[in-house]
Structure 1
């Protein structure tokens, strides 16, 4: 299966802002700075700060982050999201469930059935009708290369079991 078939029209729209970054394999910005610069990960960045994970995600890594965008977080009722952000332990478990150690590019992700998160649990990875899903959340943009790993964008927030 060609990687180009994995990116839907929606993913293309989301990834346009990352075009230069995604094709630059000598990326200068780390995962956190890339997310901040993108402008559509403000909730994720706020959550990463609240959980005290900024230094970790700015470290050498490498990491693969399955990053929910702001639209993904907007699917969570505001009261539930506020409660989660206020609970540092629960928030850390959710955020680290979105991170895999190592740099796993999309061409490799599609060959996997699962991936172990830094939180400790396994993510289920499936490919259906040319689309990639991580724990049921569709990957809508791939291979946003950073200086310390790669970001793949999710259309929903995934929760540990």
Structure 2
């Protein structure tokens, strides 16, 4: 009986160890795959943003090495645009305008919210600077409120904002 119990406990330890190692490997693989686009795509609040990233043909960039800071407008923020604006931007002939809009929401390094609050006018990938202000109700970027900060991705960080940022006209 002792042999049976000993064999049973040994087998159980092996099963638990193998299962733990497989679970750990799966978790590690999941972490490796969570780039900016995949993090955004798994969040129900960013479906419009992900659609715009794909339409602008920027998926490869935002899945790339980075690091980047993505200022991510929520679906609700996109709904606040004037009627027809998003539909117009999503047309293939307006791809360059959409790219400009998306890259205006992108900083060329991973900047935490605490570091961002120290910056005044970081330049975007689009080429124009943003204005960052520390207010009583939190950080504002070009007037948009940061409503959730520091969502990690393997190639950067996401800060959720409540408005779509419009790049300056040239």
> TM-score category by the smaller chain?
0.7 to 0.9
Give the counterpart of 2:164 among 151, 157, 160.
157
Contact 1:27–1:145 (Cα < 8 Å) also in 2: no
SS at match of 1:145: strand
For 2:60 and 2:134, the matched residues in 1 are separated by: 33
Q: Are positions 1:73 and 2:78 aligned together?
A: yes
Task: Tell me by how many angstroms 1:39 deviates.
Answer: 1.5
User: Corresponding residue for 2:36?
Assistant: 31
For 2:140 and 2:124, the matched residues in 1 are separated by: 15
More helix by share: 2
Structure 2: runs of 5+ lacking an equivalent: 1-29
What aligned pairs does 1:1-161 form with structure 2 within 5 A after superposition? 27-28=31-32, 29-86=34-91, 87-161=94-168
User: Which of the pair has the greater relative contact order for Cα pairs under 8 Å at 6+ separation?
Assistant: 1
More strand by share: 1
Task: Tell me by how many angstroms 1:63 deviates.
Answer: 0.3
Aligned residue pairs total 136
SS at match of 1:40: helix
Displacement over 6 Å in runs of 4+:
none
RMSD: 1.2
SS at match of 1:116: coil
Structure 1: runs of 5+ lacking an equivalent: 1-25
- Larger Cα Rg: Structure 1 or Structure 2? 2
